[in-house]
Structure 1
């Protein structure tokens, strides 16, 4: 009996301590199977087009070359490397390429997340955090550059937090992560900002004699990180470009992912926050003041803009892990022997590659038709018009099909006033804006959602002829002498 138990323990040992790997595999399979979910954002289309432009021209854009309203205006792409990766994967494998690339990045994010959290907490507690993080991040997990930067973000912040937990300065080996992040996505600025508060946590927690030396070491690391962020084709201009996002002001709440949290109905963010508060009250969990400030800052960001929910989900547990482990118990799980780990990794890699190829060969990935007015753009091209007033969500599809849009997802290029004016015009919050923009930009045709207010109004306006309509998009062509096709409904008996 003793021999049997010992033998089974030896067999099971190689599989222990591999929960991050299982998390990564599970998340990868989940998003690969739901691959079209990653392609529902119209921005994916122009991201790939920009990436292909960079490949074709062997240069990064310095000015806008895609729209007709902002052509020639200064514009840089702080996401150039991610765009190239998406474009290359699309060129090689069609839509399967961006789906597999994004799924792999998401899987790596959650595997790293589980790895860093499980260093302090038990596997069961880690899986609870993984489930919460998945629920909070799902709305923003799309085939877009920020997804490729997410594993870098987790690794960077985990490295900073680990240094603070040790009352030490971070390793300079982290700096290549910042350089990579700066070329993948503009969110690297947040990674730089976090150096300050995490350094404060490390310095305050250290003994008084060591604080001065530690402060100097963190300062040196912060300066080195800043310099590493300049390792892009744009130099420090990539850092300065973040100002354009911050200057969007009243335009930001009009964009779905930038809207503040809405607690009108029960959602994942509210559930996670309530459970967190309940657990703290039940177990009497205490955090150092600096960690409280860090956590409250992440919560504030998540409440003020929807897209920051993923930051709270992935970074909050990293902030909590070490102090939480000291109060509720840490991780005592055994780790896998390096040789056995290598065998398991190699075997699973082969299986994943084979499974991915098999699934991609029988399943067709494609963007959601809601943001892809395929038939309408075919009809639009036949009209040979140059200046098209388009719905915001159609901009990416127009760019991908060689049609210069009025506006697209590069909101920082168009600026606050332009975006707000367009939104007020297309939604008829200010109807005069619609007619002003049509005249100011000498619009030849409009391509708007069939159910939009602007589309319905143009049905009642002379000089605009409806030449195409389907369930997704409608085209109105400016034509002298055209008579409106619909009369407004008037009830003479109404009071």
Structure 2
């Protein structure tokens, strides 16, 4: 009796711990793009008393059909926000995540997993999924998928649990398109049960009455669950929605979360998880259930086709991993071994404590370096907040062109007064509009004509993105505002003349700043930049630009102070990493001119840490090593710079910018004259 009570206490402790771990790791500031348009859509639903059926947020897709499959998530999110603000949304999401992983651990335990194995497997799953735990509708898919698994597992003892599946699906289908995962799980269980009955028939054994009843009830539950999906505002149309993106090449190649896994680097925890799962299954394969085989196969294929489906595979595979680790350990140690059989004695206590401490230290390791991102509120310097304030304050009118990822935030700030060019609702826009957006974003041939086609009057863009030089040389667009990453430019037209005269920022705009440095009005530029630092004390780029002018004038000490000021601002505010990298890059030049070569090398290494793809930094570092006579290090840096220039050249070539591409390739050839790939590409361009 006492042992059973101890087991129950330990189970409760583990479940409470996994809840608190999930809650803590998901309690971070808002940093995803889509939550903003979800909130605005939720407000629209509550105020109008209807669910939108056509696009209301953009001028490019206005009136196009919109199947708002996440309308219930939006309505609930808006109500939480209206009562408790953004903090309420973050806390609600953290509670949801904690509950999801408690349910997942319960599935592991229901399947006979050892408590410690269940804890470690569930904790590992949590760390894999942590980067995806945003306030987005897919959070409900993770919750409902775990609940789906728990209901199916519980139904093996009490079939009445299956009656909950259709009720669950009514909510799921109105919250997120991931409801299809529930179908897949059901079909896998049904197929597994069918194969079990077929195997009995093959062996010549009769089906028991209880087995037949279980089969018929599972079939009925599956059909009822399918029918439940029709209880949504769009009825049968919702069934096709999750598949509309599949096969659309433009999205698969350009939108990160839809890219196939084999095209992407990283995801090391996922690969380790997959390896552990397959290894655990291998050593106890005789105990592998048919439904588990099907689920692993289907969901690993989905994960490989699009990395956003990794989360589905992890939820599905966690109970399988925990169960087979348990079976493998039982086989290796036997039930009589003290290490396995006695949980509440001293050695068992140590094992359980070690498992908890392992997850605690892993949590600290995750949170501490990213502590500025955790907490309540909005992650700073991620959205174009100041630029949106400026657009409102300056009363800029007309159609805007915006960054794809900023569309949701701009809907939040401007709807219904201003509508966006594009946002994250890719299915609404279609491939044609997305390709037009990409043409403009990358400065491809005829990008200006595309803006004319849509009647765009002003741009709000991230000028730190890699674009061809010709993009910034276009004089039909006048910069009127900029900060550390955002630029607002307005069409040079008579109706905008008063705004241009008042806010003209061409002299100080970071996009054409090098061109301005050769002019005679340097003092005017300095004055304007000093005014900028007063108006926006947290604009690090203004200090970097000031430093560049002061260095050009020979005032190295003052220039260095400006660079350090920029670095201090970025470290305090958690600004864009590339701004910090740029500050270190120019700081290296100033230190070198002062004769501090070693300090310049340290600055370059810091710049590479923040901007690992900046070609010029490797080139500069190679020159510094060369000056010190460290030939081997210099050669390594020059080769790295050449490879970087080569890649940039290929990118520009892909954009149709032949002259720009040739410039980068020639720089690469100077640094690596023996590189045959670079020389071959240059010969190919000369031949054309």
TM-score range, shorter chain: 0.7 to 0.9
Partner of 2:250: 250
Match of 1:105 among 96, 105, 119: 96
Q: Is the 8 A contact 2:128 2:270 kept in 1?
A: yes
Match of 2:21 among 3, 21, 26: 26
- C-alpha RMSD over aligned residues: 3.4
Higher relative contact order (CA 8 A, sep 6+): 1
Residues 109, 265 of structure 1: alpha-carbon distance in 2 compared, 3 angstrom cutoff = closer
Residue correspondence of structure 1 range 467-486 to structure 2 within 5 A: 467-480=480-493, 486=512
Q: Name which of structure 1's ranges 93-102 and 377-386 shifts more when overlaid on structure 2.
A: 377-386
- Asked if 1:384 is matched to 2:396, the reply is yes
Q: Is the 8 A contact 2:280 2:321 kept in 1?
A: no
Q: State the secondary structure of the residue aligned to 1:468.
A: strand
Change (3 A) 1:332 1:87: farther
Does the Cα contact within 8 Å between 1:161 and 1:198 map onto a contact in 2?
Answer: no
**TM-score, normalised via structure 2 length:** 0.60
Describe the superposition over 1:325-350 as per-residue Cα deviations: whole angstroms up to 9, x where unpaired: 5555499999xxxxxxxxxxxxxxxx
CA contact (8 A) 1:167 1:205 kept: no
Conserved? CA contact 2:398–2:457, under 8 Å: yes
What residue number does 1:337 align with?
A: none
SS in 2 for 1:317: helix
| Matching residue of 1:179 | 170
Q: Which residue of 2 aligns with 1:374?
A: 385
Say whether the 8 Å CA contact 1:60–1:77 is kept in structure 2.
yes
Name whichever of 321-330 and 92-101 sits farther off: 321-330
Aligned to 1:47: 38
Task: Determine which of 13, 16, 29 is the counterpart of 2:10.
Answer: 16
Cα distance per residue 1:288-345 (max 9 Å; x no partner): 45532321221122222111111111111335566765555499999xxxxxxxxxxx
Establish whether residue 115 from structure 1 lines up as the match of residue 106 from structure 2: yes
Q: Distance in 1 between matches of 2:77 and 2:35?
A: 9
SS in 1 for 2:187: helix
Would the alpha carbon gap of residues 179 and 324 (structure 1) be closer, same or farther in structure 2, given more than 3 Å must change? Answer: farther
Residue 644 of structure 2 corresponds to: none
Aligned pair in 2 of structure 1 residues 253, 458: CA closer, same or farther (>3 Å)? closer
1:294 to 2:276 alignment: no
Residue 71 of structure 1, CA deviation? 1.2
Q: Is residue 405 of structure 2 the alignment partner of residue 393 of structure 1? A: yes
1:334-483 mapped onto 2 (5 Å cutoff): 365-381=376-392, 382-402=394-414, 403-428=418-443, 431-432=444-445, 434-454=447-467, 457-480=470-493
Structure 1 residues 241 and 456: CA distance shift in structure 2, 3 A:
same
Q: Name the SS of the counterpart of 1:475 in structure 2.
A: strand
Aligned partner of 1:58 among 49, 61, 83? 49
How far apart, CA to CA, are the structure 1 residues paired with 2:381 and 2:431?
A: 26
Structure 1 unaligned regions, length at least 5: 335-362
Whether the 8 Å CA contact 1:261–1:306 is kept in 2: the answer is: yes
Match of residue 309 from structure 2: 308
**Is residue 224 of structure 2 the alignment partner of residue 224 of structure 1?**
yes
Task: Tell which deviates more after alignment, 174-183 or 379-388.
Answer: 379-388
The 1:333/1:52 distance shift into structure 2, 3 A limit, reads: farther
TM-score, normalised to structure 1, is 0.82
Contact kept, 8 Å, 2:26 with 2:133, in 1: the verdict is: no
Aligned length: 454
Deviation at residue 128 of structure 1 after TM alignment: 1.9
Match of 1:273 in 2: 274
Distance (whole Å) between structure 2 residues aligned to residue 333 and residue 244 of structure 1: 53
Q: Which shifted more, 9-18 or 435-444? A: 9-18
Q: Which runs of 5+ in 2 are unaligned?
A: 202-206, 344-373, 495-499, 516-658, 671-688
Q: Contact 1:285–1:324 (CA<8 Å) still a contact in 2? A: no
> SS of the residue aligned with 2:445?
helix
Distance 1:479 1:200 in 2: 65
Change (3 A) 1:265 1:234: closer
Q: Does 1:75 pair with 2:66?
A: yes
Alpha-carbon spacing, 1:325–1:230, altered in 2? closer, same or farther (3 Å): farther
Distance 2:317 2:142 in 1: 14
Change in Cα spacing, 1:479 to 1:254, as seen in structure 2 (3 Å) is same
Query: 1:333, 1:31 → 2: CA distance?
Result: 34
Aligned-residue offset at 1:412: 0.9
Structure of higher CA gyration radius: 2
In the TM superposition, what whole-angstrom CA distance separates every residue of 1:158-195 from its partner, at most 9, and x where no partner exists? 323555x6797972222111111111111112212332
1:240 Cα deviation from its structure 2 partner:
3.0
- CA drift of 1:248 comes to 3.3
- Report the secondary structure of 2:424's partner residue: coil
With over 3 angstroms needed to count, the CA separation of the structure-2 counterparts of 1:386 and 1:454, relative to structure 1, is farther
Q: Within 2, Cα distance between the matches of 1:30 and 1:153?
A: 20
Structure having the larger proportion of residues in helix: 2
Residue 418 of structure 1 and its aligned partner are, at CA, apart by 2.0
Q: Which residue of 2 aligns with 1:260?
A: 260
Aligned to 1:153: 145
CA distance in 2, matches of 1:281, 1:193: 24
Contact 2:107 2:149 in 1 (8 A): no
